[in-house]
Structure 1
Amino acid sequence: MARQFPLAGLLRLKQLREDEAAGRLADANERLRVSRARTHGVSEALEGTDLDPAGSASLYAVAAARASARSMLADLHALEGRLQAERERAQVTYRGARADTKGLEKLEARHSEGEASALLGAEQRVLDEIAAAGRLQHTGKDRA
């Protein structure tokens, strides 16, 4: 009977950590995607406004709206920068978790291969013993 991989519990823990890190990376990617879409929408809206104000009051209103939009756009760019940094940290964490898991997975594969080789060797020894016993019986019948 094959022995269980001695580090199976540790491997499972590393796999759980990798899954958690992958989830955080996916969340960070989604937040960044949403932020970029929002920034792009505001940027397009700001570029698309081509108003011809009729009076000074409407000119001041347009200037105030554009200033507000530019301020919001600057805030969105700052948020995007923070989200990008968060995404990069999540990616580094995921890569580290993946490397830890991959190393243990390789050890587990080697362990499984060793166990399979040992099992095949044991089976071959049993077959050899059976064959040897059969030859002894056959040889004994020839002499009798």
Structure 2
Amino acid sequence: MNPQFPLAGLLRLRRLEQDQAAARLGAANARLRALSAREDAARAEAERISSDVDGAAALRAVAAARASSLGMLAELHALAELADAERDEALLEFGAARARTIGLEKLEARHADAVAAADLAAEQGLLDDLGSGARPGGDRGDTGVTP
């Protein structure tokens, strides 16, 4: 039997595709974590806006700061939703790539088992041949007794 797995090239390609899908999933997760951290920081910043006002100018400044913070939070939330959708898509892509790879890995394992079984059978045949030649008289038909 051919010791080389006939689909080895395709399996390498599938593993590369799986690695790329895993990298995209990792990047999407990192993007989502970064946006979440930015959103948390923006919330904390918005909470620190003072509500003490001593005049009309201060009231307008507080209102502008709050409006800006709300706009930033809305934008970050929208970006986080997009990043979440990208992560979900990357997760599906990774799952599909992994499924394609698993199928080929199972075929490779079966092939390796078949090659190992063929090697063992060949080795056993060789040992049987060697064992039959080691008996007294061998294949000559001799009984091993001298007249």
- 2:142 maps to which residue? 140
Percent identity, please. 49
- 1:83 maps to which residue? 83
**5 Å matches for 1:28-107?**
28-107=28-107
Shift of 1:136: 5.2
Which runs of at least 4 in structure 1 moved beyond 6 Å after TM superposition?
none
Shift of 1:114: 0.6
Q: Which amino acid aligns with 2:123?
A: E
Shift of 1:141: 6.1
Shift of 1:92: 0.4
Look up the SS of the partner of 1:135 in the other structure: coil
* TM-score normalised over the length of structure 2: 0.92
Aligned-residue CA RMSD in angstroms? 1.5
Shift of 1:48: 2.8
Q: Distance in 1 between matches of 2:126 and 2:8?
A: 30
- 1:20 maps to which residue? 20
Q: Distance in 1 between matches of 2:73 and 2:128?
A: 79
Look up the SS of the partner of 1:143 in the other structure: coil
Q: Which amino acid aligns with 1:143?
A: V
Per-residue displacement from partner, 1:65-101 (whole Å, max 9, x unpaired)? Answer: 1011101100000000000000000010001001100
Per-residue displacement from partner, 1:49-80 (whole Å, max 9, x unpaired)? Answer: 23301111110110011011101100000000
Q: Which has the higher contact order (CA 8 A, sep 6+)?
A: 1
Q: Which amino acid aligns with 2:27?
A: D
* TM-score normalised over the length of structure 1: 0.94
Q: Distance in 1 between matches of 2:75 and 2:3?
A: 58
Per-residue displacement from partner, 1:7-33 (whole Å, max 9, x unpaired)? Answer: 001000000000010011111010100
Q: Distance in 1 between matches of 2:137 and 2:25?
A: 68
Q: Which amino acid aligns with 2:97?
A: A
Runs of 5+ consecutive residues of structure 2 not aligned to the other structure: none
